[in-house]
């Protein structure tokens, strides 16, 4: 289509008074409905766990109940003794660990990080809440590129190898937000073997999408903690996860996987803040997932049945409208919650503006960069999980139209 035809097509979308939103990665109501039986999975007849813990009372420990630890350790690829359960959010657990690290350091470090003007390596494009969290705690953020095989480890090593104020690497190892990339064996190995200047340099792996596969045979993902142990660096790795996109977002369970040594260290620290996390929630999850056909993997397969058609539509529309033409490139993730699109020309801001004016909300420009600024004005994050399939279809057709229109406008004016 030429510019005039695109303007007409865009106007037709605008005339429809659409109200579409592919801004944030939230589950759909159909996804939530799969977990509805969890709401009644604990009642007055089931207040004792298998190990005889009364979920109404304090005793039970800061690590979480055994049954839930045995269940969720599988989600992030650690052993049952290598997981600590939190409350409803992994971000909250991350913020507790980062805050205490600033005050007291981490296991193996004798003093708090705050005095060192600490720096945190973050992958870009990445997750806006990671950036906000560590920045608001006072870390200086240093961007390293996210590649198809994980964080650019040459860059990580160059930055952390000589600077002891670089305290950690914060990234998403499986189906990264927003690119959908999965770390390779070589990347994982590099991460747990290189020599950082800070003896307490920590790999903070936010494995939010560890089990969120879109295909039946998921790619093997390296087990970071196992690898770190094999190389004698067990304490270097902390892996976060949650059930926010397994059961209920904001009403699930957050957790962290780490070495036995780190468990001993962090459980003492976290015990100063709370006698223990919500056991009723943990027990409900265990009882619900025991009954679910196929357990946790069965539930994730049912989620994929709802999500995959939406991701397929994203690819279909983008291929049909923009394929083999010079407008954009995009990822085709095998799991997770996002597709990352890069426009060929620096027009992301204009695309977002055109889409908004025609009734489609996209993720804010620059949200996937630490300072909220996309230096190239090319990145668009697509989050197709929350709307219905039909809404995703409409949203993608409109987005494709906006990308073409913004690109031709740009080319005409430059």
Ligand X SMILES: Cc1ncc(COP(=O)(O)O)c(C=O)c1O
Which residue intervals of 109-182 are DSSP H helices? 128-136, 153-160
Cis peptide before 356 (omega within 30 of 0): no
Give the phi and the psi of residue 204 in degrees, each rounded to 5: -100, 100
| Minimal distance, residue 266 CB to ligand X, in Å | 17
| Binder among 61, 105, 109, 254 for ligand X (CB under 6 A) | 254
Nearer to ligand X, 105 or 336 (CB): 336
Nearer to ligand X, 91 or 347 (CB): 91
Contact call for residues 18 and 358 (beta carbons, < 8 A): yes
CA quadruple 74, 76, 79, 80: dihedral sign: negative
Nearer to ligand X, 131 or 201 (CB): 131
| Minimal distance, residue 402 CB to ligand X, in Å | 24
Nearer to ligand X, 181 or 206 (CB): 206
Nearer to ligand X, 172 or 227 (CB): 172
Does position 242 interact with ligand X (CB under 6 A)? The reply is yes
Contact call for residues 285 and 74 (beta carbons, < 8 A): no
| Binder among 107, 244, 262, 282 for ligand X (CB under 6 A) | 244
Q: In what order do the strands lie in the sheet with 140-147?
A: 83-85, 254-257, 237-242, 202-206, 166-171, 119-124, 140-147, 150-151
Does position 247 interact with ligand X (CB under 6 A)? The reply is no
The residue nearest ligand X at its CB is 242
| Minimal distance, residue 90 CB to ligand X, in Å | 3
CA quadruple 70, 74, 76, 79: dihedral sign: positive
Does position 25 interact with ligand X (CB under 6 A)? The reply is yes
Number of other CB atoms surrounding residue 327 within 10 Å = 20
**x/- track of binding to ligand X for residues 122-151 (CB under 6 A):** -----x------------------------
| Minimal distance, residue 57 CB to ligand X, in Å | 26
Nearer to ligand X, 25 or 61 (CB): 25
Q: Give the list of residues 6+ apart from residue 260 with CB closer than 8 angstroms, or none.
A: 81, 82, 234
| Minimal distance, residue 319 CB to ligand X, in Å | 25
| Minimal distance, residue 250 CB to ligand X, in Å | 6
The secondary structure of 57-105 as a DSSP string is: SS-S-TT--HHHHHHHTTTTT--TTSEEE-SS-HHHHHHHHHHHHHHH-
Q: Give the list of residues 6+ apart from residue 342 with CB closer than 8 angstroms, or none.
A: 328, 329, 330, 378, 379, 380
Q: Which of 79, 54, 58, 80 is nearest to 67 (CA)?
A: 80
Cα dihedral 156, 161, 165, 170 in deg (nearest 10): 20
Rounded to whole angstroms, the Cα distance separating 393 from 406 reads 20
Q: How many CA atoms lie within 13 A of 232 on its CB side?
A: 2
Q: Which of 156, 97, 76 is nearest to 123 (CA)?
A: 156
Q: Is 53 left (phi over 0), alpha (psi -120 to 50) or beta?
A: beta
Nearer to ligand X, 233 or 331 (CB): 331
Rounded to whole angstroms, the Cα distance separating 119 from 105 reads 13
| Minimal distance, residue 127 CB to ligand X, in Å | 4
| Minimal distance, residue 280 CB to ligand X, in Å | 18
Residues 50-109 that bind ligand X (CB under 6 A): 89-91
Does position 296 interact with ligand X (CB under 6 A)? The reply is no
Does position 206 interact with ligand X (CB under 6 A)? The reply is yes
**x/- track of binding to ligand X for residues 159-188 (CB under 6 A):** -------------x----x-----------
Does position 35 interact with ligand X (CB under 6 A)? The reply is no
Does position 208 interact with ligand X (CB under 6 A)? The reply is yes
| Minimal distance, residue 89 CB to ligand X, in Å | 3
Nearer to ligand X, 201 or 204 (CB): 204
Nearer to ligand X, 62 or 210 (CB): 210
Most distant CA pair in the chain: distance in Å? 72
Element (H, E) at 240: strand 237-242
Does position 31 interact with ligand X (CB under 6 A)? The reply is no
Which residue intervals of 105-236 are DSSP H helices? 128-136, 153-160, 185-193, 224-230
Nearer to ligand X, 57 or 273 (CB): 273
Interface with ligand X (CB under 6 A), residue total 12
| Minimal distance, residue 4 CB to ligand X, in Å | 40
Nearer to ligand X, 118 or 254 (CB): 254
| Minimal distance, residue 115 CB to ligand X, in Å | 28
Name the site residues for ligand X (rule: CB under 6 A). Answer: 25, 89-91, 127, 172, 177, 206, 208, 242, 244, 254
């Amino acid at each position: 289509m030429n510019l005039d035809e695109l303007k007409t097509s865009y106007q037709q979308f605008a005339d429809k008074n659409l109200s579409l939103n592919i801004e944030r990665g939230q589950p759909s109501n159909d996804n939530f409905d799969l977990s509805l039986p969890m709401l009644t999975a604990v009642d007055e007849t089931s207040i004792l766990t298998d190990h005889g813990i009364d979920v109404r009372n304090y005793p039970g420990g800061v690590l979480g109940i055994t049954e839930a630890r045995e269940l969720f350790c599988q989600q992030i690829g650690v052993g049952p003794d290598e997981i600590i359960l939190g409350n409803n959010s992994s971000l909250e657990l991350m913020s507790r660990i980062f805050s205490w690290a600033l005050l007291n350091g981490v296991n193996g470090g004798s003093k708090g990080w705050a005095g060192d003007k600490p720096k945190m390596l973050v992958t870009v494009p990445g997750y806006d809440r990671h950036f906000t969290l560590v920045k608001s705690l006072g870390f200086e953020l240093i961007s390293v590129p996210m590649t198809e095989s994980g964080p650019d480890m040459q860059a990580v090593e160059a930055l952390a190898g000589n600077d002891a104020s670089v305290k950690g690497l914060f990234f998403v190892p499986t189906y990264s937000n927003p690119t959908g990339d999965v770390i390779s064996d070589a990347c994982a190995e590099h991460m747990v073997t290189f020599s950082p200047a800070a003896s307490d340099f920590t790999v903070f792996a936010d494995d939010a999408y560890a089990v969120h596969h879109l295909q039946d045979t998921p790619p093997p993902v390296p087990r970071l903690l196992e690898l770190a142990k094999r190389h004698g660096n067990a304490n270097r790795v902390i892996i976060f996860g949650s059930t926010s996109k397994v059961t209920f977002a904001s009403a699930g369970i957050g957790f962290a996987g780490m070495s036995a040594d780190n468990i001993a260290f962090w459980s003492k620290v976290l015990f100063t803040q709370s006698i223990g996390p919500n056991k009723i929630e943990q027990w409900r999850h265990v009882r619900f997932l025991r009954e679910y056909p196929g357990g946790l993997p069965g539930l994730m397969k049912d989620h994929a049945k709802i999500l995959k058609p939406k991701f397929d539509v994203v690819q279909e529309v983008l291929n049909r409208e923009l394929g083999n033409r010079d407008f954009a490139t995009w990822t085709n993730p095998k799991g997770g919650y996002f597709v990352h699109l890069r426009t060929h020309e620096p027009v992301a801001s204009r695309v977002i503006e055109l889409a908004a004016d025609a009734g489609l909300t996209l993720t804010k420009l620059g949200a996937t960069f630490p300072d909220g600024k996309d230096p190239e004005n090319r990145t668009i994050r697509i989050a197709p999980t929350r709307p219905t399939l039909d809404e995703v279809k409409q949203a993608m057709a409109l987005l494709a139209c906006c990308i073409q229109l913004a690109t031709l406008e740009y080319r005409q004016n430059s």
